[in-house]
A and B are shown apart, each in its own frame.
Chain A
């Protein structure tokens, strides 16, 4: 089993001012525990990255290490970065409508590269009828507009905390 991440924040709690330990002990904590590493990227050509940034920031505040790739990434770029960064999960934000082409390609490339243990979740504009098809290829978390960031954090924790083991 994976050890627990640095810290879990309860719902609605601000990260600032929530610091209980003196800095030296916090540093000890940071050294000892492992953080989840999450890749956040925008595949395809739409230029709207606010959602991706909001999720990146929320997961950062939940104690995770976010590798932020930014705009206009090809599936090849995403999977290569996932391999080099040894990430636990990939979050993909897509609003262009190309999700049924790009997301399966990412999953396919992950498998080709032996990275099938990397969890993939997605967000953006994804019509309801496409969700079952994406679930089928292993993209279990799909978050549309208006998602509470707390739900995404909980989802990531649940997925990584229960279903995976450290190789």
Chain B
């Protein structure tokens, strides 16, 4: 107990070694760090959490590096969490995001932590939201969270961050890709990185079109006015936020100032509307939901026992019973249903 309060004190005092150690404990087994997290929780809620997501190779790490440099130029301390995927085969991971962040080395105002996704599929690791809280409590007012290279459905970041940047690059698909559901929908700010390459303007146009089709504005089509329906989820009291599209060349730092302005504008928008409170609530809901599910599943599996599960798998494979019926039967046998 007293050891834990010592850790809390050191974290709040900005001890980086204690911070790094605590993050490992959270990653390895959340339960072990529960007491420390509980003690740190009252000190959280101050940080602006900025998520950066997008396909592999679009330049997320380089952009995070540039954003962090820009914040440091303003004297703001920055915490960075960079998530890379864990191999489903070996359980190993190669975390390579720091390669692009070498400019930040040697700056005590920056703390970078690489995380392996450890089997989680939403683009983040299961422990990421807890690590965000620890960085928040440790006094990093800006926390940048970089997801694994995301495809179309890794949208967990939107429930973790206040402001989500979706990074695109030219040449990744036609305009129908842009109106598909998924990762583009969660963008608060769209970034077309590598904008010095061919096709950057087309990519911007495709994204522009996606935004036009989705908003409450009317669209002219064959000389008629087509009104788009209200976007589900957008309440009428909230002034609408239209995601700006920023063109950047992150390796040369081009467009970063404009991107910083867009992030600051979104922060003000969240603070001035009820957006901030809404996101905090959505975050709490998702987090509690996830934890309840985890604990419930652990409990239920414990009650059923691995032998019964194994037996059911055999029967499903042998086509004696289907998976739905097997699940029902296991729950009934464990008197949970």
Contacts and interface: CB of A to CB of B under 8 A. Distances in A.
Contacts of B98: 67-70, 81
The range of chain B's interface size is: 35 or more
Contacts of B96: 68, 70
A45 interface: no
B8 interface: no
Nearest to B28: A34
Nearest to A85: B114
11 contacts: A9-B90, A19-B88, A27-B119, A35-B91, A35-B92, A62-B90, A68-B96, A68-B99, A70-B99, A73-B102, A113-B17
Contact of B92 (A65, A73, A76): A65
A114 B17 contact: yes
Contact of A81 (B87, B94, B105): B105
B88 A23 contact: yes
B64 interface: no
B93 A77 contact: no
B114 A61 contact: no
Interface in B70-110: 86-96, 98-99, 102, 105-106
B17 A66 contact: no
Given A76-B106, A83-B20, A84-B111, A56 B87 contact: no
Tell which of B28, B87, B89, B90 has the most Cβ of chain A within 10 Å: B90
A56 B88 CA distance: 17
Contacts of A31: 118-119, 126
B279 interface: no
Nearest to A18: B89
A15 interface: yes
Interface string B274-316: 0000000000000000000000000000000000000001000
B21 interface: yes
A66 B21 contact: no
Given A35-B116, A84-B16, A85-B114, A61 B21 contact: no
B113 interface: yes
Interface of B: 16-17, 20-21, 23-24, 27-29, 86-96, 98-99, 102, 105-106, 111-114, 116, 118-120, 126, 313
B99 A6 contact: no
Contacts of A18: 89
A105 interface: no
A34 B16 CA distance: 21
Tell which of A5, A69, A115 has the most Cβ of chain B within 10 Å: A69
A60 B21 CA distance: 22
A19 B89 contact: yes
A15 B118 contact: no
A68 B95 contact: yes
B89 A65 contact: no
A59 B118 CA distance: 16
Nearest to B113: A84
Sorted nearest first, the 5 A-B pairs with minimum C-beta distance are A6-B91, A60-B92, A27-B119, A30-B119, A86-B20
B87 A83 contact: no
B130 to A, nearest CB: 13
A114 B15 CA distance: 12
A137 interface: no
B20 A63 contact: no
A63 B90 contact: yes
Contacts of A9: 90
A6 B90 contact: yes
A77 B91 contact: no
A57 interface: yes
Nearest to A19: B89
B99 to A, nearest CB: 4
A27 B86 CA distance: 10
Contact of B24 (A26, A32, A59, A86): A86
Given A76-B106, A77-B106, A15 B113 contact: no
A63 B92 contact: yes
